[in-house]
A and B are shown apart, each in its own frame.
Chain A
Amino acid sequence: MSHWGDRLGAYLDGEVDEQTRTLIAEHLTGCGVCRSELADISWARSVVRDLPIIELPPGIVPGVFASRRRRRRAFRPAWAWAASAVTAAALTLGLVIAPGQADSTFELGSLVDRHVARVVLDPGISAIRGPVSGP
């Protein structure tokens, strides 16, 4: 059975086209794996969105640099460690993973030309083919 794991996030956000949405909705009615995955995604997002927004107290950043200059271990409250961890994770995800979502390297018009240029050298295929056009 096919699963829609990589599209469920977009489905949840209403970012898939109508046809895909229908396919996924039909699939969900009979697939416990995808239903469970969809519930997980929904839960994870609700947790992230419900996190409180913490305003940093004035002067905290200069304070951090000052502590580094002194090269000694200073006391930090627990929320500061948590904020640092979240920031590090966000930077890792943002800087390392997000660049993977690059623009397409394919220029479809060029692909048509290259395929056709090769096809016309095959007599049998040339004999029965029609016109060629890109999408």
Chain B
Amino acid sequence: MRKRAIALTIVAFTLWGGATARADDELQQYLEQAAVAEFHATGIVMSSWGTESVAAMYEITRSHGMSMVRGPAGDLMVVDGLTAVGSAEGWYAVEVGEAADWVLADRYTLGAPMPTTRLGRPASELMVFEDGTPRLRLIVDDASRVPLLTEVLDGDGRVFRVATLIDFAPEQPAAPARPQSYGSHHMVMPMAEYSGLPGILAGYRLTDTYGDPNGIVQGYYSDGLFSFSVFESKRGGTPGAFADAAAFTVDGSAYRRLVTPSYAWVQWHAPDRSYVLVGDLPPDHLAAVLVELPRPGDRGLFVRLWRRLFG
């Protein structure tokens, strides 16, 4: 009787594990196909962080192995293994030295696709679950697998970011004009040997660490669906953009936050280091990450004394 129970348990776990593995594989295939699809589209992205809401319209073109996004901050092109950024002075390129392979975390599983239509095209509605809780709702074009609608949910099941295409042309568009040359801002991101950042943060894996001549270390974390970079430097002043940023607290610690349609920016000073985090992670993930990083704090008795006496 006991042997039979054990056997049934093993079969049940095998079937459950197999179903999970199939779901993950399917989600991975959706995302990988979407990433290489060629199309032209116009979209709107909105995000809401408590009382702060921001939105932007963007245009995206993928053709002949190139990708170009036009947004409120300017143009961005991925071409020849470089990320080219358009600026008032012309194009400059950012090259990543090395990068780990993309891996989708096991915590995400895909629900059964539901047939629907979007922008007049056959599409499928997908729900992505994180440990059984809805995290992402997608409506993907059946032919190209491109997400026509993306809704990211916070830990309470509320939509906090929506990206929707309002115009979609899947026929191969003309290739974007390739930059003729790059300016003097060309920058290589070398890998850095640094062990100061945690290897895992709230389920996000530190995949790559980069350095620069100014002593700033960039730790890139990803769970395959969302990602963020933690920039760490010696303790310095507060970047001007954060001077009037919204203050918020996580587990008793105070941070400053700025939000853009696709990203959240968080800045704080630990006793010996200053940090900026930028990423597209949901608010509850952000809070979970921050509590595992060095906490905001002052430099000690003398600095506190100085500030108390002289402000």
Roughly how many angstroms separate A49 CA and B206 CA in the complex, as a whole number? 51
For the complex, give the distance between the alpha carbons of A57 and B300 in Å. 37
Q: Among B31, B76, B229, B276, which residue has its beta carbon within 8 angstroms of that of A128?
A: B31
- A10 CB contacts on chain B under 8 angstroms: 311
Count the B residues whose beta carbon is within 8 Å of the partner chain — how many?
91
> Are B241 and A135 in contact, with the CB atoms below 8 A?
yes
Contact A120 B274 (CB under 8 A): no
Q: Is B13 an interface residue (CB 8 A)?
A: no
Given contacts A106-B276, A127-B31, A131-B262, contact A115 B311 (CB under 8 A): no
Which chain B residues border A6 with CB–CB below 8 Å? 254, 298, 304, 307
In chain B, positions 286-311 with a C-beta closer than 8 Å to chain A are 298-299, 302-309, 311
Give A13 to B237 CA distance when docked, in angstroms. Answer: 19
CB nearest neighbor in B for A17: B244
Bitwise, A55-68 to B at CB < 8 A (1) or not (0) is 00000000000000
Q: Among the listed B95, B216, B225, B265, which residue makes an inter-chain contact with A117, where contact means beta carbons less than 8 Å apart?
A: B95
Q: Is the CB of B309 within 8 A of A48?
A: yes
Closest A residue to B247 using CB positions: A20
Of B83, B150, B187, the most chain A CB neighbours within 10 A belong to B83
Write the nearest CB–CB distance from B298 to chain A, whole angstroms: 5
B99 at the interface (CB under 8 A from A): yes
Pick from A12, A108, A119, A127: contact of B276, CB under 8 Å: A108
- A7 vs B247: C-alpha distance in the bound complex, in angstroms? 11
Separation in Å of the A120 CB from the closest CB of chain B? 5
Evaluate contact between B104 and A124: CB separation under 8 angstroms: yes
A124 & B303 in contact (Cβ 8 Å cutoff): no
Complex contact B262–A19 (CB within 8 A): no
A37-75: CB near B (< 8 Å → 1, else 0) gives: 000110011001000000000000000000000000000
The answer to whether the Cβ of B35 comes within 8 Å of any Cβ in the partner chain is: yes
- Interface locus among B174-182, B195-203, B207-215: B207-215
Interface string of A96-114 (1 = CB under 8 A from B): 1110111111101011111
Q: What are the residues of chain B within 8 A of A17 when measuring CB–CB? A: 244
B236 in complex: contacting residue of A4, A40, A102, A117, CB < 8 Å: A102
A134-B260 contact in complex given A125-B224, A128-B31, C-beta closer than 8 Å: yes
Interface residues in B74-91 (C-beta closer than 8 Å to A): 76, 78, 83, 85
Q: From B54, which residue of chain A is reached at the shortest CB distance?
A: A133
A129 to chain B, nearest CB (A): 6
Q: Is B58 part of the binding interface, using a Cβ–Cβ cutoff of 8 Å?
A: yes
Complex Cα gap A48–B309 (Å): 8
> Which of the candidate stretches B3-11, B14-22, B65-73, B110-118 sits at the interface with the other chain?
B65-73
CB pair A124 B28 closer than 8 Å: yes
Q: Is B218 an interface residue (CB 8 A)?
A: yes
| Chain A residue contacts of B194, Cβ below 8 A | none
CB < 8 Å: which of B45, B218, B280, B303 contacts A114?
B218
Q: Are A124 and B225 in contact (CB under 8 A)?
A: yes
User: With A106-B239, A135-B241 given, is the CB distance from A123 to B31 under 8 Å?
Assistant: yes
**What would be 18 A-B contacts, judged by CB atoms less than 8 Å apart?**
A6-B254, A7-B254, A19-B247, A102-B236, A104-B240, A104-B274, A106-B274, A108-B239, A113-B85, A114-B94, A114-B187, A124-B104, A128-B225, A131-B56, A131-B70, A132-B71, A133-B260, A134-B73
Give B residues with C-beta under 8 Å from A.
Answer: 28, 30-32, 34-36, 43, 45, 56, 58, 67, 69-73, 76, 78, 83, 85, 94-96, 99, 102, 104, 136, 138, 146-147, 150, 163, 187, 189, 208, 210, 214-216, 218, 220, 222, 224-229, 231, 233-242, 244-247, 249, 252-254, 258, 260-263, 265, 267, 274, 276, 278-280, 298-299, 302-309, 311
4 smallest CB-CB distances across A and B, nearest first, come from A131-B71, A133-B73, A130-B45, A123-B35
